Structure 1
Amino acid sequence: MSCINDEEEEDVTYSIKKAVNSEDLARVFKTSGIKRPSDDLPRLQRMIDNADIMVTAWDAARLIGVARAITDFSYCCYLSDLAVDKAYQGTGIGKELVRLLQEQISEEVMLLLLSAPSAMEYYPRIGFDAIGNGFKIARKR
């Protein structure tokens, strides 16, 4: 697995190295509009601790975007969270987070996700193909 260096685009810095805490993650979830357990900081911390990859976007010291994924680095990668603060949406940050994530997993690895209904039109615009052959067992809480 290769490691990306921090990359800058205007005032936004991207990183896979910078530590994220549960408070920052809660704030970006809330400001992005993504539905996550933002008030359950211990659960968010477990989400951070157990992710295989977290690519982040920062405006100075403020977390403004995150791509959090679970992968085997060989065959499949599940993009569990793609969240960008609404004030920064439409600027290409989400697309760049996905591109940097793909650099980490290589071309051998399929990237898949479950989309919120409100984002169904976004993902094809950044290179995802819609699929209809999936199943789930929903979480109970």
Structure 2
Amino acid sequence: MKIIEFKVGIVPKTSEIIEVYDSSGIKRPTSDSGRIRKMYENSNLIITAWLNNELIGISRSITDFCYACYLSDLAVKSEYQKDGIGKRLIELTQKEIGKETALILLSASIAMEYYPKIGFEKVENGFIIRRTK
């Protein structure tokens, strides 16, 4: 029986984060460890999932804890996907931000079917200026 431990506010080693990203299928600039490190230094809500001291899942958000929270990253190692870890990371994010805070995200095309299954509502009133690098 695997017991997964969830931790709030722990920033894992950059190499561990990259390992989760690369395994999960999420597209992030994992060849640029400095950029990954900076992404975490400038985020204010990080929740991690651990199995026997191995990082297996992570959520990274930017929030004001009273109105809006942008869930920037949700990643779970491929061998642990479909075990409810992503859903639990989102539940813990919601617990941390409280009921008066909206949880917002941009989905990768491969995850568009996933988010409605765990309670997200699709919105059509958003805009983006894409990064150029």
Question: Which residue number in structure 1 is paired with residue 31 of structure 2?
Answer: 39
Gaps of 5+ in 1: 1-8
User: What's the secondary structure of 1:46's corresponding residue?
Assistant: helix
Please say if 1:113 is aligned against 2:87.
no
The answer for the alignment partner of 1:94 in structure 2 is 86
Contact 2:10 2:46 survives alignment (8 Å):
no
Q: TM-score, normalised by structure 1?
A: 0.91
1:129 aligns with 2:129: no
- Matching residue's letter, 2:117: R
- The CA distance in 2 between the partners of 1:88 and 1:58, in whole Å, is 11
CA deviation digits over 1:24-82, x for unaligned, max 9?
11110000000000111111111111111000001111111001000011100000000
Cα distance in 2 for partners of 1:52, 1:18 equals 11
How many residues were matched structurally?
A: 133
Q: Cα RMSD over matched residues? A: 1.1
User: CA offsets, 1:61-118, max 9 Å, x none?
Assistant: 1111001000011100000000000000000000000000101000000000000111
The sequence identity of aligned pairs, in percent, is 46
Moved over 4 A (4+): none
TM-score normalised according to structure 2 size: 0.97
* Residue of 53, 58, 61 corresponding to 2:50: 58
Letter in 1 for 2:42: N
- Secondary structure class of the residue paired with 2:17: helix
1:17 Cα offset (Å): 3.7
